[in-house]
Structure 1
Amino acid sequence: MSPTSTHPAIFEGLTTPALILDEARMLRNFARLSQHAADLGVALRPHMKTAKSLEVAERMSGGTPGPITVSTLAEAEVFAAAGYNDILYAVGIAPGKLPRVQALRARGCDLVVILDSVAQAQAVAEAGIPALIEIDSDGHRGGLSAEDPSLLEIARILADAGALRGVVTHAGESYGVSGAKAHAEFAERERAATVAAAEALRAAGMACPVVSVGSTPTAHAAQDLTGVTELRAGVYMFFDLVMAGIGVCTTDDIALSVLASVIGHQPDKGWVLIDAGWMAMSRDRGTAAQAVDQGYGIVCDAEGRVIPDLIVTAANQEHGIIARRDGAAGPMPDLPVGTLLRILPNHACATAAQHGGYSVIPARPGPLQSWARFGGW
């Protein structure tokens, strides 16, 4: 795949650092996973935690709101107000948040929560809110195994209150392995764990209509989702260097970048200084543990073409330092003060969170667009 052609003049007048979104790449990423989910015969419930944008959601859904996943109640409130009324809040519920959930449900939003403890189940059942039970498929974080005695106890509490919707898992450990084969193995772990849990609930006389799995690596690598009803993923919309580093995408698929200006040089040190530090890029160093450490991001020219072996090696609050990666031969490229560069991020979610909106390169020829982005919890 070749990068989208972008003339630097499109950025004229834009203050740096700025968050750049390539709409054509984003749409391509949407289409890729949508087709894969369709081929597997499951519904796709995109996770909006990365985008946090109504404009992104509109293009993802084709203008007809469908099921989504969120990571904060603030997201749920914004998306529900825009007509997205089938929402999974995929973070373990705290009882103190239940009144906000009830308020959203009272306004017609079918907001479902997740949980993995008796205490949560009792609070949720009393509040009359539907829930999915979180299943641990890989030891990554929370959740229960299908064999855990408390699974049936929790399910019974929910079922007796008419609040049991099903089971859910997330194979977060899939981020630590590389290649489609390894990711497919984690996808099968997700499937096997949730299907076993669902069968245990059904064997005990309880309905389990929803079996929900997904992470960006496993969603793309899954080969068989028999028994699963829906697939979730989030960062696939934009992708990032962590996903490229484990083989889920290439750098040509990364739709997000940070536009920066060259503001100085330290020739004796082999440095170029830019006006994008960790406040623009985030402190995420997710590629540091991978086979290739990309520093704070790969450097591209203003047209989005990767400049070989040039990375952001260090970041202060508002300053980034660009240098050749360790072991790279050859001179630094000529980058005069004022040169515009684009930095591909390690973690799209963390980088996007540093900005209040997107400057969007439209899929069809035209001027730069501005899309709002929201935050909060």
Structure 2
Amino acid sequence: MMLDLLDTPAAVIDIPRMEKNIALMQQRMNTLGVNFRPHVKTTKCVEVVRAQIAAGAKGITVSTLKEAEAFFAAGVVDILYAVGIDPSKLSRAMMLRKKGCDLKLVVDNPAAAAAVGEFVRRHGVRFEVWIEVDTDGHRSGITPGEDTLLEVGRILQDAKIEVGGVLTHAGSSYELNTHEALQALAEQERAGCVQAARRLRDIGIACEGVSVGSTPTALAARSLEGVTEVRAGVYVLFDLVMRNVGVCAFDDIALSVLATVIGHQPEKGWAILDAGWMAMSRDRGTSKQSHDFGYGQPCMLDGTPLHDYILSGANQEHGILSPAESEYGDASTSQDIRARFPIGTKLRILPNHACATGAQFPEYHALQATGELTVWQRFYGW
């Protein structure tokens, strides 16, 4: 099947763009001398992960145990579950370990560490646990200089649990848009995580691993001295948020939603598409950035951006395509919307957030350079 015959809405991955993104990130990690452990929550797709591993990735990062179970079943063994472990999920984690999965868990507080210790004592299972540190105030973790870091380390050590390392995520990088600011945050991320590992080592805890990562900081870091691995996820597809951050261009974005024009409101200059927020997601991540793309950037079927239009609104199954001012030129209102986009016209909409948009679909349609399509399944659930 070819793109112009595909039922809509549909999630489309441009394979050449995806492969280029994978190769460039892996090459950068190789140059910086660190292992790369991609975060697979963006795609949750076996075919994509196989391409990342084939390029040189060392293990994967997941955000749910469902991902860990699915990717382990597909043959991936080295898996980091990079969300603080809920004690009620330890039985599922134990089953994965007993089946041979090298699953690594994460904690960031004494209560969680103690719960893992008690579970290990009762069940005799071996876990490798990493401690999450907070290097930018964005989300979870223990600040590198906090005494709680050492307390958590000692709780795990006393329970004879291997402390595999420390990890951090500079999620505040999504709020930046200059290379200089990204470089500074990348160094802050690196230095903070290295400091946390050093403090643990100073009290006799091995803590071999130092794991950092976000797509923007991975692409901006000048040095990763003391770091053993990097994690990044959205780089594989990119999106409009990343374009605004400044780490990709439009023609690097490998995910789009194929949509069809189903109606018009000519007095408003609108074309109505069959892709609303159920297809694009409600993520409006670009609304606070330098350029607001509404619910997405429309493109022609060949991927050429229509810079004078925007997906300005979205209901559940309806998207509103309307003229938009942009740095590329004035809004195009002189041509009748019905003539510009006749009923049945197919467009590709670039998403604000690839992770959120991908999550709306049970499958991807992988677009080869020849124009042929292959269906790739996507995981759901927790």
TM-score, scaled relative to structure 2: 0.94
Q: Is this contact kept in 2: 1:212–1:231, CA < 8 A?
A: yes
TM-fit CA distance, 1:146:
2.0
Q: Separation in 2 of the partners of 1:218 and 1:83?
A: 29
Q: Distance in 2 between matches of 1:264 and 1:303?
A: 22
Is structure 2 residue 366 aligned with structure 1 residue 360? Answer: yes
Query: Which amino acid letter does the alignment assign opposite residue 174 of structure 1?
Result: S
Q: Is the 8 A contact 1:310 1:323 kept in 2?
A: yes
Does residue 81 (structure 1) correspond to residue 73 (structure 2)? The answer is yes
Amino acid of the structure 1 residue aligned with 2:31: D
- Secondary structure of 1:37's match? helix
Q: How does 1:271-282 map to 2 (within 5 A)?
A: 271-282=270-281
Residue 326 of structure 1, CA deviation? 4.5
* Residue pair 2:41, 2:355 contacting (<8 A) in 1 also: yes
Q: Distance in 2 between matches of 1:279 and 1:366?
A: 26
SS at 1:133 equivalent: strand
Residue by residue over 1:160-202, the C-alpha shift from the partner in whole angstroms, topping out at 9 and shown as x without a partner, is 3132111000001111011221111111111111111111011
User: Following the alignment from structure 1 to structure 2, what is the Cα–Cα distance between the partners of residues 296 and 63?
Assistant: 32
Shift of 1:63: 8.5
Contact 1:66–1:84 under 8 Å retained in 2: no
Within the alignment, does 1:369 sit opposite 2:374 as a pair? yes
2:303 corresponds to 1:299: no
Instruction: Could you tell me which runs of 5 or more consecutive residues in structure 2 were left unpaired when the two chains were aligned.
Output: 121-125
Listed one character per residue, the Cα deviations across residues 125-147 of structure 1 (whole Å, up to 9, x for unaligned) are 23342111110100001111222
Match of 2:350 in 1: 344
Q: Distance in 1 between matches of 2:55 and 2:378?
A: 18
User: Is the contact between residue 280 and residue 318 of structure 1 (CA under 8 Å) also seen in structure 2?
Assistant: yes
Partner in structure 2 of residue 4 of structure 1: none
Correspondent of 1:43 among 35, 57, 72: 35
**Identical aligned residues as a percent:** 54
Which residue type is aligned with residue 275 of structure 1? D
For residue 59 of structure 1, report the CA deviation from its aligned partner.
1.5
Structure 2 counterpart SS, 1:288: coil
CA distance in 2, matches of 1:316, 1:64: 41
Residues 298 and 350 in structure 2, CA contact (< 8 A), matched pair in contact too: yes
1:46–1:232 contact (8 Å) kept in structure 2: yes
Match of 1:195 in 2: 194
Q: What CA deviation, in whole Å up to 9, does each residue of 1:40-86 have, x standing for no partner?
A: 10000000000100011111222888400000000000001111111
- Provide, for residues 327-370 of structure 1, a one-character-per-residue CA deviation record: whole Å limited to 9, x for no partner: 7333256110000000000000000000000111114x262111
Mapped to 2, the partners of 1:250 and 1:90 lie a distance apart of 28
More moved, 180-189 vs 28-37: 180-189
Equivalent pairs, count:
368
What is aligned with 2:151?
Answer: 153
| 8 Å CA contact 1:65, 1:84 repeated in 2 | no
Shift of 1:325: 1.3
Residue 322 (1) aligns with residue 314 (2): no
Provide the secondary structure at the position in 2 that maps to 1:261.
strand
Q: Distance in 2 between matches of 1:145 and 1:318?
A: 43
Q: CA RMSD in A?
A: 1.4
Q: 1:224-303 to 2 correspondence within 5 Å? A: 224-303=223-302
Measured in 1, the distance between the counterparts of 2:192 and 2:57 equals 30
Query: Once superposed, which parts of structure 1, at least 4 consecutive aligned residues long, lie more than 6 Å away?
Result: none
Q: Which residue of 113, 120, 123 corresponds with 1:121?
A: 113
CA contact (8 A) 1:360 1:371 kept: yes
Counterpart residue identity of residue 179, structure 1? T
**Residues 366/321 of structure 1: CA separation in 2 closer, same or farther (3 Å cut):** closer
Q: Where does residue 133 of structure 1 map in the other structure? A: 131
Output the amino acid matched with 1:374: F
Q: TM-score, normalised by structure 1?
A: 0.95
